[in-house]
Chains A and B, each alone.
Chain A
Amino acid sequence: MSDQNTNPRTEWPLWEIFIRGQHGMSHRHVGSLHAPDAEMAIKNARDVYTRRNEGVSIWVVEAEKITASSPSDKGPMYEPSQSKVYRHPTFFDIPDDVGAM
């Protein structure tokens, strides 16, 4: 903390911005920006990402707080679900006579 105070030239932290485009939709990642704190990040996000009614709600998350999966884990992470085809409804043959199901 004191270290940071003696170095006022620190760059503003990076924030990831998520916007709900319309009522009923999830928030979606739209990009990032720099701001001194969360409150300013929301204000900046309004100017940078919603100049044309692109949103009804904004989330901001400090970029360094995000933990992401690593691309090299892609195999072990998602492989197990590939062998479980029975999780999809199309796995089961239902006779046409049964009707919509």
Chain B
Amino acid sequence: MNVAWALLWKDLATEWRSRDRIVAMTVFSFLIIVVFQFAWPNMEPEQIAQLAPGILWVTYVFAAVIGLGRTFSTELENDAMTALALAPGNRGWIFLGKATATWVLITAVQAMAGLVFALFFRVDLTIGLSGTATIVALANVAICSVGTLLSAMSVRSRFREVLLPVLLIPTLIPVLAAAVTGTTATVAGEALALTTLQPLIVIGGIYFILCFLLFDFVLDE
């Protein structure tokens, strides 16, 4: 458990000093939003309301993929990955530390991207904000769990930039489907129903436990 805290602190400290990932993710998500704006130049407000949750989540997922691709790049720079592999104890804690740090970063970027999205598309995200935020937070558990595990593998493969999205996106389809459905309801002002949260909790829980256990094998040689 202490190892998880150490990694969380280390990842956030290095990120605070370099700001590599957060800048890359933020800029990228802004660009996607702008691209969507040009893809449908003259949308009626009702059309926007219908498409908004989808656009938002496509932005979120692609930004997350960008961020996750860099999760282990600091570890590769001076082969610190070997130091992590050599650490005694359950490596699941290493996974937990890295996944939590990524969760913090991705959630922060999503908050900013959401703000920009609301401005550009003139969507009032304050309606059902707490519900939407809960959905985002839960979906991020699933995204960061699988993302951290797959990133640790893809980073040591060839064509890692291509491989990560190819591996990651299929596993995120159920998360995406549940999150978009939930967000559609919350931005329309509906109360957050347990039936929307249930799939996100279940998927997040399954992914988290599974990745926690499987991570041990990723660091072996």
A and B form one complex: no
